[in-house]
Amino acid sequence: AAAVGLGLAALVGYAVYGPWSRPGSAGVYAVYGAGWALFALGAYLVHRLPVRRAVGFILAGAVVLPVLAAGAAPQTSDDAYRYAWDGRIQAAGTSPYAHAPQDPAVAGFRDAWLFPAGECAGWFKHPIPDGGCTLINRPDVHTIYPPVAEAYFWLVHVAAPPGRPEPVQAGAALLAVAVTIALLLVLRRFGRDPRHAVWWAWCPMVALEAGNNAHVDVLGVLLMVVGLGAVAARRPILGGVLLGAAAATKMFPALAAAGGLRRNPVRLIGAAVLTVAGVYLPHVLAAGTDVLGYLPGYLKEERYDDGARFGLLGLVLPTELTPYAAVAVLAALALVVVCRGDPDRPWHAALTLTGGLLFVLTPAYPWYALLVVALVALDGKRWEWLALGPAGYALYLTWGFELTAEQVRAVHQGGYGAALALVLGTALYRRLRPAAGTTGRPAAFHAWKPPIRSVASDSPTSSSEAAARLDA
């Protein structure tokens, strides 16, 4: 396990410092693929260790991998620059929902880091109308991030020296470590195997997307994990507050509440709704409907409005019907999950619904699957859902290749299709596989088949025969 962990650390380092750290080459697929293969082997070996030793390995990986990745500048995403900008203008008393970065009204907050001089060419450089350049993506639109995420950006800005991406990356790396600690505590609290935390702690996607690219999704993951722990501990109000805060970081964690709705649903949902309303209210008062930010534009840009993004549904339905089918599939899945969910194990239903959502939406961004990684660690058994991470990378890393739209769509559908086949195939195998200590035959077989006699051939066949032998 130690050797595999060192190998995994070397690959993570190579992925951010090496020559194949950017999309656009076959080498990056090889590096990422090798990282996931070593991760699978390492998780298997850690599960075979004694618990105390395994926890030590888990914590070591949880610290080393994201911190190592955070040492390099963001390699495959420029979201961290938007985070830094949003934190900066909030610290100056300006709402991030009120002005786009290229707006002349906020030009006074520009610096040479986020708005470099010179030719606007190269990675993460975007032109702005006045002839300048910025590292902030989509500089012509308001922020898309909800209020809890914005509060986090402000906190990072005021807590660390501005002007570099390192504080944002360090904050996300620390949150990734905190998620590992939260997983260990929740697993221990409910008598589950703490070695399952390795699914998060050693996952290369956690190191790359939290440590290097500093995605705020990791904050939503932390709030979701602690919130689900509160739900399982029969504290619905606390669970609702935490899950509401998670949803106000990124929207997807809201689905995690479905696993606890069979017990105290009013308290759980009420606390979550009030939390979301409470954090949005100050921004609504300051910016009005602009608090929606770039969300409507994002949905159009990603082509959810015309159905082109629903990759798997597009395999079996006309494109124009896929948005309606997506709503129907998710509604049916949510109904099943809510009706059959176990509030003592809310993460089980949360994994099914969150993973199902990603299979329906088939997003282009692999870091959306960070939620699934944490839920796999809580669930402990259904590791196959981790395939959603590589499925997202298969599409995302095509950025930089000169592919036709048809080729990109084939990669998109192929990646998510393979992941879905793994999830469904593994579930079917588990259902058909005999449980340990059984014959593997259905109960009906034992109901009609006469039991095998295990007595001596000369044993009495009735009570009267036994009495006659005793009298003799």
- Give SS3 for 61: helix
> How much is the pLDDT for 450?
38
Structure tokens given for 248: 């106000």
Helix axes 26-47, 388-396, angle to 10 degrees: 170
Distance CA 322, CA 370 (A): 25
User: Is residue 456 pLDDT above 70, yes or no?
Assistant: no
Please, which residues bridge with residue 133 across strands? 127
CB 235 within 8 A of CB 191: no
> How much is the pLDDT for 465?
58
> How much is the pLDDT for 42?
95
Distance CA 409, CA 414 (A): 8
374: closest CA among 234, 152, 198? 198
User: Is residue 446 pLDDT above 80, yes or no?
Assistant: no
Structure tokens given for 472: 């003799």
Least confident of 139-143, 293-297, 409-413: 293-297
Cα diameter, the chain: 116
Least confident of 35-49, 111-125, 314-328, 434-448: 434-448
User: Is residue 379 pLDDT above 80, yes or no?
Assistant: yes
Q: How deeply is 18 buried, as exposed, middle or buried, from its count of CB atoms within 10 A (0-12, 13-18, 19+)?
A: middle
> How much is the pLDDT for 448?
33
Q: For the segment 300-316, what is each residue's pLDDT rounded down to a tens digit?
A: 878 787 777 888 998 98
pLDDT (mean) for 21-35: 88
Least confident of 122-126, 311-315, 317-321, 455-459: 455-459
User: Is residue 452 pLDDT above 80, yes or no?
Assistant: no
Distance CA 243, CA 225 (A): 9
Q: What is the C-alpha end-to-end distance of the chain, expressed in Å? A: 70
Average pLDDT, the chain: 87
Distance CA 86, CA 80 (A): 10
In the chain, what percentage of residues exceed pLDDT 90?
A: 61
> How much is the pLDDT for 435?
54
Distance CA 106, CA 48 (A): 56
pTM of the model: 0.87
> How much is the pLDDT for 294?
73
Which alpha helices (H) appear in 190-235, and where do they start and end? 198-201, 204-206, 217-232
> How much is the pLDDT for 458?
52
Q: For the segment 65-107, what is each residue's pLDDT rounded down to a tens digit?
A: 999 999 999 999 999 999 999 999 999 999 899 889 999 999 8
> How much is the pLDDT for 439?
46
> How much is the pLDDT for 82?
94
CB 199 within 8 A of CB 184: no
Distance CA 169, CA 260 (A): 33
Structure tokens given for 396: 């995302």
> How much is the pLDDT for 434?
64
Q: How deeply is 166 buried, as exposed, middle or buried, from its count of CB atoms within 10 A (0-12, 13-18, 19+)?
A: middle
Q: For the segment 193-222, what is each residue's pLDDT rounded down to a tens digit?
A: 999 999 999 999 999 999 999 999 999 999
Distance CA 330, CA 290 (A): 28
Q: What does R_g of the chain's alpha carbons equal in angstroms? A: 26
Q: For the segment 246-268, what is each residue's pLDDT rounded down to a tens digit?
A: 999 999 999 999 888 888 889 99
Cα separation values, 374 from 123, 226, 269, 436, Å? 31, 11, 22, 27
> How much is the pLDDT for 468?
52
> How much is the pLDDT for 442?
41
Question: How many CB atoms lie under 10 A from the CB of residue 51?
Answer: 11
Question: Torsion angle of alpha carbons 368, 369, 372, 374, nearest 10°?
Answer: -80
Confidence band (pLDDT; 50, 70, 90) for 461?
low
> How much is the pLDDT for 120?
84
> Which 8-state DSSP code applies to residue 127?
E
Distance CA 156, CA 113 (A): 17
Distance CA 13, CA 61 (A): 13
148: closest CA among 63, 246, 19? 246
Q: For the segment 50-66, what is each residue's pLDDT rounded down to a tens digit?
A: 999 999 999 999 999 99
- Give SS3 for 88: helix
240: closest CA among 267, 280, 277? 267
CB 207 within 8 A of CB 69: yes
Element (H, E) at 469: helix 463-471
Structure tokens given for 434: 């005999």
Structure tokens given for 344: 């003592």
pLDDT (mean) for 345-367: 94
Q: For the segment 403-442, what is each residue's pLDDT rounded down to a tens digit?
A: 888 898 999 999 999 999 999 999 999 888 865 445 444 4
